Structure 1
Amino acid sequence: MLLADDERIILEGISKVVDWESLNTELVDTAKNGLEAYEKIVQHQPHIVISDIKMPGLDGLSLVKKVHEEFPSIQFILLSGFSEFDYARTAMQYGVKNYLLKPCNELKISEALNEVITEIKCTEDQKCFIDHLKKDLDKAKPYIKAQLLTELLSSNKDLAYYQKLIDVEISDQQVKLILFQLESEFSYEHIHAIKNIGSEIFGTPMLNTNIGEYALFLVETDGGAEKLQQQVKQIRDRFSQFYKIDTTVAISGGDYVRNVRNLYLEALECLKHRFYLGEGSIITKADITRGEPDRQNGFVFDEQQMSMLIKSGNVIDVSREISGFFEKLMDLRLGIPMTKSYCIQLFLAIVQTGNSERMQIYLDGISSIMQVDTVQQMHEYIKQAAVEITQDYFESYKSKQSTVIGRVISIMNEHLGNPELSLKLVAGKMLYMNADYLGKLFKLETGERFSSYLTKLRIEKAIEHIQGTEDVKIVTLAELIGFGDNPQYFSQVFKKYTGYTPTEYRRVP
């Protein structure tokens, strides 16, 4: 409190009569005129000034005006005579609401003071409340900033709208958006872990949030693309080390913060190419525009060629053909629906080559192909079916080959004594097959040429006769096993095979 009046009796009277302490106030000083009052107001800056409206040097109204301009929060109670009361009302423009007519007693003064004190306390409470909110707002600004940017991702409003609405300033520098997708079942703990690891490695990203199953980071581009790639790999590797879960990452191109929604849509578009590049990839805008292949000619593959390869039973050739099919499809990037359509076409061409019983099982699996997440998974699924069907053909051929070669060996044993017995004779006269084909088949099945196998059979038959018959002539034995009338040649072959002549072999213990 400060009291100003040019009448000493009133000044001293009010000073002594009013119980300042009971009003929870302190009278800090008094002044005998307006000029002195102004000086002491500047010195003490009291909450309330009780001032006479008529004072020498500087009247009360002028004092109110001057103080209001410099210290607008100081409240005034004006003392005036009845004739001055209308004049005093002009002080209302400076916020003066309390007037006391002279003479006034302690009760009137106390009532006026209580009214002003209540108003001051109310104002201070409001100020404290607002200050507290502002402090809380300052603390919350990083979170508000993140929320602002998160809303920008899914809203058509511009950056200026949100900055004005929330009163948060965001510099409009160049940034990139990094989006992480977890490749297995996950909980919020995993998203939270990605965000923490990312914040540590990126430093202080402009935005660190999650939208559904995605963890997002908005980072400045001043570090360069190579550094950003290294940071992303660090985040993926550390997260995988802790949780054994792989992640696919999409990195947008660079743009200003005000275009963050476009960056988000671009990152989502990058993520779609996970279908082509596979789970666990780091996908950038360059990856989805790479090559720009000619799509005008569409995509053509030879179903008949695939069918012939499968029926040949050659698993290696079939696997190579399917890999080539998917390499072409990956380069074209025809779009997910069209890519799946071509894969279904290939799958049908493959399964129709197999037997009808197994075909229905494969046809039931078409829905599984449509639901796979990546081209690599589709590749493996189709390749597995093709290999199984090709293997069936191989086993079938192998069984048929074994039957044919078994028949050839039986013929060789039956006609062992015929000196004219040969591959050409067996193939052309007995089995009605191509001799070259039968020879290859025989070598594939037995590991030996027909002639070598026949010689082995004849020598083994000769050994049986030598061991089972005490007195058998070499001439007779040669004729018996198909060497005709050439016992000398028989002896040479026998020695080459056993290390002994027929005569020497007979004496071997």
Structure 2
Amino acid sequence: MYKVLLVDDERIITEGMSKVINWESIGTNLIGTARNGIEAYNIIEENKPDIVISDIKMPGMNGLELVAKVHSVFPEIRFILLSGFSEFDFAKQAMQYGVKHYLLKPCNENTIMDAVSEICEDINQNQKREQFIRKMKGTLESVLPYAKEQLLKEFITNHYENKDLEYYQNLFNIDLNTPKVRLVLFQLEGKFEFEHMFAIKKIAEQIFDSYMVSCSVGETILFLIEDYCNYPKLYAQIEKIKKTFYQYYQIDSTVAISESGKISNANKLYNEALDCLTYRFYLGEGGVITKKDITYQNPSDELEFYYDDQTFCRLVKSGSWTNVNKEINTFFNQLIDLRLDINTTKSYVIQLFNAMIRLCEAKEMNMYLTKLTFLLEIDTIQNLKSFFESVAQEITLSFFEHNNNKHSTIIKKVIETIDQYIGNQNLSLHWVANEMLYMNADYLGKLFKKETGEKFSNYITRLRIELAINLIEKENDVKVFEIAEKIGYGENPQYFSQVFKKHTGFTPSEYKRESLQGS
């Protein structure tokens, strides 16, 4: 119920109104009466009524003075003024303080009850309105951070222009005068799921001192942070994020950091960070890359790279893996030193790759052509080199076997033993020499290298990788640990995966996925 106070210097009026009007029927409770404005104000201070019904003409403090004083302290209290005078000036003064009900004496109880009921209804509506506004404000406040983050994300990735950001800056409290900001991009390496992106995002949010945006963009995690003007501190925080994430998931990450700049240039900083991230093609996975690390040749200064494919092909046909491997190192070192545009670099590798596989018979050449899709998707030059080496070694050794199809009796026995025990994790040069052939291991190793052109350990590794590839391509549901057991890596599938990636540029799981997509 709403509290009502009656104020009139005529006791007969206050007593009459107190008794005649059924206050409860109109949702009110009469809390008392006062004989003048001074007495009324004291009661108002103590009880804070919702509605005051007051005469205007009273000694000490009249009704208009009471309204003015109460309005300055308790503006929410409503007034109904009673007067025997109908002068317009009274009504005009009362309206200045929000008084909407000005009743002329004498007035019956129905008139007063109607006025009180109208005020009660007005208070009800105001309370509902305020409750709704508070609720909507709470909802808006909970949504605003996400909306702000989405807006900045769209602006950073070039979906909005500066004028759009200026339009929203007041709503989202965006300070376009923030002195400096940086863009930091995290790229997870190898195979990963959305949960891993979410995890590194949360780890970074806890470690960074402050950030304006934290979101995923494609397969990267983006942070817009205020520039600390302390690069060593930022670098230390990034290393802590990488290390913490790796401890939990054993997944490496590459980080790109833009230069510092104004928030209005965030899109430029974003593209700069993307360029840094792409440059991991030359620098390798798992690093922290800044603009200072990028040394691309300018298109106008870019030199034409020339390499003699025919010389390389003659080496492959000779069957000498030592010479071929040396030439591959020379070829890739030249590309690394030149730091050409990545697509240009890949085009030179593809050109040499095609020249090499054309040396093969049609069936083998077609098989190698299907691996071009793998080559195109490799994202570091070291992995590209490993992939190229694995194919070159296969082709070179096939020519070696063709050129030297007659091995000595001892080496034939060694190869037969290898073929028979390839799945045995104890297979090694010493094991074959001591346990199977009963001869000096060093001598056997030199003899094997002389007749095959390949070290014993390299031969074993190559053969095992070839077997692994065959298993992956023939058995879609084969598990990595099953392959490891079958080809002699025992109970160490992780080491097998490392060796496989070193020789092919892919982990077994990645190779399997690409093989399925290619088919």
- TM-score class, shorter-chain normalisation, is 0.5 to 0.7
Contact preservation (8 Å) 2:210, 2:226: no
**Quick check: 1:218 aligned with 2:224?**
yes
- The CA distance in 1 between the partners of 2:96 and 2:105, in whole Å, is 22
**What is the alpha-carbon distance in structure 2 between the residues aligned to residue 162 and residue 302 of structure 1?**
59
Superposed CA RMSD in Å reads: 3.5
Residues 80 and 88, structure 1, Cα contact 8 Å, conserved in 2: no
1:162 aligns with 2:165: no
**Matched residue SS, 1:76:** strand
Counterpart selection for 1:194 from 200, 216, 233: 200
- Equivalent residues in 2 for 1:72-111, closer than 5 Å: 72-81=75-84, 83-84=86-87, 88=91, 91-111=94-114
Q: Provide, for residues 322-374 of structure 1, a one-character-per-residue CA deviation record: whole Å limited to 9, x for no partner.
A: 22222232333332332222112221232334556544443444344333333
Distance 1:87 1:139 in 2: 48
In the alignment, which of 306, 316, 338 is matched to residue 310 of structure 1? Answer: 316
Find 1:32's aligned residue among 30, 35, 38: 35
Q: Which has the higher contact order (CA 8 A, sep 6+)?
A: 2
Alpha-carbon distance between aligned partners in 2 of 1:396 and 1:361, rounded to the nearest angstrom = 19
Which of 48, 51, 57 aligns to 1:48? It is 51
Equivalent position to 2:282, from 270, 276, 300: 276
CA–CA separation in structure 1 for the residues paired with 2:43 and 2:115:
22
1:14 Cα shift? 2.2
Matched residues in 1 for 2:350 and 2:82: separation? Answer: 98
1:340 corresponds to:
346
The 1:307/1:287 distance shift into structure 2, 3 A limit, reads: same
Cα pair distance change 1:122/1:192, threshold 3 Å: same
Q: Following superposition, which runs of at least 4 residues in structure 1 exceed 6 angstroms of deviation?
A: 168-171, 290-294
The letter of the residue matching 2:78 is: Q
Superposition pairs of residues 313-324 of structure 1, within 5 angstroms: 313-324=319-330
Deviations 1:158-193 (A, max 9, x none): 454333123566882433222222334443322221
Structure 2 regions of 5+ residues with no counterpart?
409-449, 452-519
* Aligned counterparts of 2:407 and 2:298: Cα–Cα separation in 1: 50
Counterpart for residue 245 of structure 1? 251
Contact 1:293 1:332 in 2 (8 A): no
Indicate yes or no: 2:117 matched with 1:114: yes
What are the within-5 Å matches in structure 2 for residues 439-458 of structure 1? none
**Cα separation, 2, equivalents of 1:23 and 1:381:** 89
Residues 75-109 of structure 1: CA distance to partner in whole angstroms, max 9, x if unpaired? 22121347447852663454222233322233322
Corresponding residue number in structure 2 for 1:230:
236
Alignment of 1:324-473 (within 5 A): 324-354=330-360, 358-399=364-405
Once the two structures are superposed, residues 119-166 of structure 1 have per-residue CA deviations (whole angstroms, 9 ceiling, x without a partner) of 112212322332344445555665455444334323424454333123
Residue identity in the other structure for 1:217? F
Larger mean CA deviation between 230-239 and 349-358 belongs to 349-358
Within 1, Cα distance between the matches of 2:42 and 2:398? Answer: 110
Is 1:9 aligned to residue 15 of structure 2? no
Cα 1:308–1:188 shift into 2, 3 Å: closer
Q: 1:166 to 1:222 in 2, by over 3 A?
A: closer
Contact kept? 1:249, 1:281, Cα under 8 Å = yes
- 2:208 maps to amino acid: F
Which residue of the partner structure matches residue 182 of structure 2?
Answer: 176
Q: 1:131 to 1:266 in 2, by over 3 A?
A: same
Question: Separation in 2 of the partners of 1:254 and 1:169?
Answer: 16
Residues 1:297 and 1:264: Cα distance change in structure 2 (over 3 Å): closer
Return the match for 1:149 from 147, 152, 177.
152
**What's the secondary structure of 2:52's corresponding residue?**
strand
Give the share of equivalent positions with the same residue, in percent.
Answer: 48
Whether the aligned pair in 1 keeps the contact of 2:54 and 2:81 (CA below 8 Å) is yes
- Aligned residues of 1:53 and 1:88 also touching (Cα < 8 A): no
Aligned mates of 2:177, 2:49 — CA distance in 1: 43
The answer (yes or no) to whether the contact 2:187–2:255 under 8 Å persists in 1 is: yes
Q: Given that residues 176 and 264 in structure 2 are in contact (C-alpha distance below 8 angstroms), is that contact kept between their aligned partners in structure 1? A: no
Distance 1:81 1:169, change over 3 A: farther
Three-state SS of the structure 1 residue aligned to 2:119 is helix
Check the 8 A contact 2:86/2:104 in 1, yes or no.
no
Summarize the Cα distance change of 1:80–1:332 in structure 2 as closer, same or farther, 3 Å threshold: farther
Tell me, yes or no, if structure 1 residue 260 matches structure 2 residue 266.
yes
Helix, strand or coil at the partner of 1:255: coil
Corresponding residue number in structure 2 for 1:494: none
Structure 2 residue 210 is the aligned partner of structure 1 residue 207: no
Within 2, Cα distance between the matches of 1:141 and 1:133? 12
What displacement does 1:276 show? 3.1
Change (3 A) 1:169 1:344: closer
- Structure 1 unmatched runs, 5+: 403-443, 446-509
Which secondary structure does the structure 2 equivalent of 1:346 belong to?
Answer: helix
CA distance in 2, matches of 1:9, 1:295: 105
Contact 2:316 2:324 in 1 (8 A): yes
With the length of structure 1 as denominator, give the TM-score of the two structures: 0.68
When residues 296 and 215 of structure 1 are mapped into structure 2, their CA distance, relative to the original with a 3 A threshold, is closer
Q: Shift of residue 116 of structure 1?
A: 0.6
C-alpha distance 362-185 of structure 1, shift in aligned 2 (>3 A): closer
SS at match of 2:404: helix
| Secondary structure in structure 2 of the residue aligned to 1:6 | coil
Q: Which stretch has the larger CA shift, 325-334 or 288-297?
A: 288-297
- State the one-letter code of the partner of 1:232: I
| CA radius of gyration, larger in | 1
- The answer as to whether partners of 2:321 and 2:396 remain within 8 angstroms in 1 is yes
Distance in 1 between the 2:72 and 2:131 partners? 23
CA distance in 2, matches of 1:398, 1:216: 57
